Amino acid sequence: MFTVTPDRPQRVDLSSYTIRLANVAQEIEHWRASYVHWGRGKDWAVEKCKSEGDWGREGGFRCWVLVRRDAVEGPIYSGCETFRRKAFQRENGSNEVRDTFSYAVASVVTPEPLQRQGYASHLLSLLHYLLGDPVSLPPFPTHRWGPPPPLLSAADHAQFPPGIASVLFSDVGSTFYERATIGLDWTGYIVEEESCHQVTWELKHRPGPTEHQWDWIYLRDLSAVSGELSRGARKRMESAHPDSTTSVWAPDPASDGTLAFVPTTAVWWRSNPTSVLEAEICGVRLPAIKADQEEAIVLFTAGQALIGDAMLVTYVHNLDADQLPLLNEALDEVGSRMGLKEGWIWGLEQASELGKAWMSLSGRKVKAGRRDETMGHLLGVAWYGTPESRGELADSAMWTWC
């Protein structure tokens, strides 16, 4: 969910602008600007719902705006939203996993009359110094950008512990947000090719409910499920690639509301959403079918207007290749109810046994490839440390989208 027009050569003195947490009027101005790009026929006030989810608990979701230094309470020149997320990090050469924080940046938008002036990129460049630890970043370039952003209040500052990175899903190509530099010389959001991969497969029509060999997971269950998935994610990071010389990090599934964001927003875009929200099926527990297997958990969303009209597999936990046929029976059933023709998954390791099995599903059309440059939701990462210390993102699955 990002601005759809690239910046033209700079026409304004950006040192005359600064960043701030939006006041109420500025937040509404940002919502309205966002609606121009992503409204899709929905009342613009649906944007307000985003501030009411569990992901917004204790300041976890905030709106930032670029304003003139001489009119900080006045009109906005660009805006964005941030989601605070817990994260795991394993330093290079260590098996110890530590708890930390990261951020996701969304809804970067400039009001239409002000576009192509460099406002959006400058907003994000300033934001880096509020999300990361300034000690780990280059000195703030006051000679080019003017004074650093004003200090946050003590209450607001407490809501923004220093993050190791921020992520941004770009709909305007893989290089646009590189220009949102950290200081003058460090590249902004870098898109790695392995994070752009998508597998698409055919769903089969499965009329009516059948006797299930699985248990459905509903939207109301995700808060409880998140702890289980968090423990599994930490365990995988502890055991994976023990000899790696690269730092590895990933968002924590236990971050407030994050697992629920995609399915919740999917329901918002449907007619009469409030009556079905808690009863939305958004996952499945699959039993072990061999002695050495564990129960598998797969989360999914039956279409989301801003991602795609498909069965969206958002999270995979403990799934073995020989459990894949049973999973597809469950996905077929939900997909048939919603009129969906295909499934999508991101972040699947292509060389793994599961990846190979997914690519060779029997009796189904399957294709794989890079997501599109335009509206492809390409995952970029801004690392808040030296380029040499850059960590590898271990999880690029769809549950992290915003």
Look at residue 5 and tell me if it is in a domain.
Answer: no
- Give yes or no for a contact between 380 and 187, defined as CB atoms under 8 angstroms apart: no
Give the torsion through C-alpha atoms of 139, 145, 150, 155, to 10 deg. Answer: -70
34 & 172 share domain: yes
Same domain, 382 and 270: no
The answer on 392 and 268 residing in a single domain is no
- Of 208, 229, 219, which is closest to residue 295 (Cα–Cα)? 229
CATH number for the domain that contains residue 84: 3.40.630.30
Residues 146 and 205 in one domain: no
What per-residue confidence (pLDDT) applies to 387? 87
Are 53 and 189 members of one domain? Answer: yes
Residues 101 and 225 occupy one common structural domain: no
Domains held by the chain: number: 2
Listed residue (289, 349, 293) closest to 316, CA to CA: 349
- Name the residue with higher pLDDT: 212 or 355: 355
Task: Let me know if residue 6 belongs to a domain.
Answer: no
Is there a contact between 380 and 189 (Cβ–Cβ < 8 Å)? yes
The answer to whether residue 1 sits within a structural domain is no
- Reported confidence tier of residue 7, pLDDT bands at 50, 70, 90: very low
State yes or no: pLDDT of 205 exceeds 50.
Answer: yes
Res 94: pLDDT: 82
Does some domain include residue 9? no
Mean pLDDT of the chain: 91
Condensed to tens digits (0 to 9), the pLDDT of residues 242-251 reads 666 789 999 9
What pLDDT is recorded for position 45?
A: 52
pLDDT in tens, 139-171: 999 999 999 999 999 999 999 999 999 999 999
- Please check whether residues 189 and 238 belong to one and the same domain: no
* Residue 392 domain boundaries: 14-194+375-400
Query: 367 - beta bridge partners?
Result: 200
> Over 70: is that where the pLDDT of 17 sits?
yes
pLDDT value for 5: 36
Please list, in sequence order, all residues whose beta carbon lies within 8 angstroms of the beta carbon of residue 198, skipping any fewer than 6 positions away. Answer: 344, 345, 346, 368, 369, 370, 371
On whether both 302 and 359 belong to a single domain, the answer is: yes
Q: Are residues 315 and 333 in the same domain?
A: yes
**Are residues 204 and 342 located together in one domain of the fold?**
yes
In a domain, 7, yes or no: no
d(CA 214, CA 210): 11
Average pLDDT over residues 310-336: 96
Q: Are residues 285 and 360 in the same domain?
A: yes
Give the number of other Cβ atoms within 10 Å of residue 124's Cβ. 27
State the greatest distance between any 2 C-alpha atoms of the chain, in Å, as a whole number: 69
List, for residues 273-314, the tens digit of each pLDDT value: 555 566 799 999 999 888 888 899 999 999 998 999 999 999
Q: Report residue 1's pLDDT band, with 50, 70 and 90 as the boundaries.
A: very low
Q: 3 in a domain, yes or no?
A: no
- What was the pLDDT predicted at 6? 38
**211 and 75 fall within a common domain:** no
CATH label of the domain that carries residue 225: 3.40.630
The answer to whether residue 104 scores a pLDDT higher than 80 is yes
Residue 2 lies in a domain: no
